Structure 1
């Protein structure tokens, strides 16, 4: 991680000074980092005596984020045109307006500032704080808060620690290069964050049905590419039987990545009759964000995802073939899910 620079902090400070009202939003289907980063930005705006509106298109499917749902309306009020025209838009944990999801107002003309840490964010110019080496957007927001508004209060510290913990799987994804991240987390503890309580909030409270669904997905899991990749999928019938609430994909990824010599895990979910989502996780140097980007998605080196029209078998086949290319440099045999399967042995 590269620490937030003076230029970046000054740019964000100047952006705040230019407006009196802000809309603060993260990506659709929010996670802990997205919501925590929004709350951290809101704390900076309060310290600067600015007005703001939090927004999330939802849905709030994860158990650990449900307590924040009431703070994030999925529909923006009908603001007076003159107020909206002079407003600033702050997007966190993503870099594109399109990833906000369904928004009932046209925000395309709003002055925009981006705070993001995804590899796919790219160069965003002066009105941004983007660092793909940062393990979470919440960590970037923490630095901005410390630079522009001083030490966060206990509630903000707890939220920022929650965001950092969820995006690093409670620091499991960090490397020897991340000493600054641990030092920043230590400051959040000093400000009032309780790591043990936050760990309980993240790991408990899942509906019992999700434990049964986890068993179904594990029983369905297969290996390919000589055991280097594990994959599984969720059907619409699974969703009807076990529900959408409190899904726990992180446990699924963790269990499958712990098996043998597994380097990557692919999980595809049929969301509707015509659309799918997919998550990819990896260990070591395998860059699953590059695989996801080939199919219209993105994310981090070891954690990425995408959504697309189609069916789970077609998407799973496409992802596995792209992973085969990444593992071998040039996969000559193709994987086809749902038909005769020829698996590349690497």
Structure 2
């Protein structure tokens, strides 16, 4: 269901009214959806006159989110025990504390509310929130909360939330035939002042030249597996040292690979340190890459997931291919 229940709305309002201060945080290596969702939640708290701090472990690798970096901190404001008890933690675009990354301070033990849309997320214990895997973006859920609690979205926020929805939907190319409520919601944002043409340019322009060179290397290194249905490529420590981390553009890599005839899924691995890797998985229609990501401590959506784990590229590739063979 692409909507919030009245219970969802009432629970969030009660959560806001029950605390004097809030920490708002999203996952490490934030993308556009994560950052704009946090900003949307902040706007809701502003309306209710509630103070807060925006947290992010970073790093802000994506060119399109760097402009908001100064609004976030990786260091929590100090609180004594009484202040902590009156503070609420709102987590956007993920549901696991471990995925928040290295925040200077203790995020555990707070009364917590989660707003997320990842298939592999879940709420446990006494934690409150909304996790809706049918939602195309966390920013979409934040928009619905804002409209239900406050009303029409102001122009500046409409532009921000529209940006977040566009980043996670690939500018709507990932949406299905059941997405009419999403288009209805974004049409309200456009009516409120969001500009599709400007947003597309903000997302897709201004990439560093180095990312174009790195993209060529990754394309040249790609190999086919499972009768050509799976394509795997990887980035080495040397690649990262030479071309840097600025302006990551793995989305273009996935799009180019998945456009090749017969390719149903793509894996991109990056060797982060001598002993750790991160990976991104993308697929067409029926292939559930979240099931594979979960095997390596990750998760996400059916057609877009990620992971971080110990290991080296050369040993992880055969393991990942073996897991894909089970779902393809």
> Which TM class, normalised by the smaller chain length?
over 0.9
CA contact (8 A) 1:48 1:149 kept: no
- Residue of structure 2 in register with 1:331 after alignment: none
Task: Tell whether 2:115 aligns with 1:115.
Answer: yes
Which residues in structure 2 correspond to 1:14-163 (within 5 Å)? 14-124=14-124, 127-163=128-164
Name the SS for the 2:213 alignment partner.
helix
CA distance in 1, matches of 2:96, 2:264: 30
Give 1:167 shift: 0.5
Name the SS for the 1:121 alignment partner.
coil
Larger mean CA deviation between 120-129 and 131-140 belongs to 120-129
- Residue of structure 1 in register with 2:194 after alignment: 193
CA contact (8 A) 2:258 2:265 kept: yes
CA distance in 1, matches of 2:260, 2:197: 27
CA distance in 1, matches of 2:127, 2:208: 44
The TM-score, its normalising length taken from structure 2, stands at 0.97
Aligned-residue CA RMSD (Å): 1.1
- Residue of structure 1 in register with 2:248 after alignment: 247
Give CA-to-partner distance per residue, 1:192-237, whole Å, 9 cap, x none.
Answer: 1111111101101111011000000001111111111111000011
5+ long unaligned stretches in structure 1: 328-346
Superposition misfits of 4+ residues, deviation over 4 angstroms: 123-126
Name the SS for the 1:82 alignment partner.
helix
CA distance in 2, matches of 1:98, 1:219: 34
- Residue of structure 2 in register with 1:210 after alignment: 211
CA contact (8 A) 1:161 1:185 kept: yes
CA distance in 2, matches of 1:3, 1:77: 34
CA distance in 2, matches of 1:81, 1:201: 43
- Residue of structure 2 in register with 1:8 after alignment: 8
Give 1:271 shift: 0.6
Give CA-to-partner distance per residue, 1:167-202, whole Å, 9 cap, x none.
Answer: 011001000001100110101111111111111011
- Residue of structure 2 in register with 1:219 after alignment: 220
CA distance in 1, matches of 2:155, 2:81: 36
Name the SS for the 2:120 alignment partner.
helix
CA contact (8 A) 1:281 1:302 kept: yes
Give 1:2 shift: 2.8
CA contact (8 A) 2:111 2:127 kept: no
Name the SS for the 1:119 alignment partner.
coil
CA distance in 1, matches of 2:87, 2:68: 24
- Residue of structure 2 in register with 1:270 after alignment: 271
Give 1:84 shift: 2.4
CA contact (8 A) 1:227 1:260 kept: no
Give 1:79 shift: 2.9
Give CA-to-partner distance per residue, 1:124-167, whole Å, 9 cap, x none.
Answer: 57721110111111001100000011112111111111110000
Name the SS for the 2:293 alignment partner.
helix
Give 1:107 shift: 2.1
CA distance in 2, matches of 1:70, 1:128: 27
Number of matched pairs? 327
Give 1:80 shift: 3.7
The TM-score, its normalising length taken from structure 1, stands at 0.92
- Residue of structure 2 in register with 1:308 after alignment: 309
CA distance in 2, matches of 1:308, 1:127: 28
CA distance in 2, matches of 1:207, 1:244: 10
Name the SS for the 1:95 alignment partner.
coil
CA contact (8 A) 1:283 1:302 kept: yes
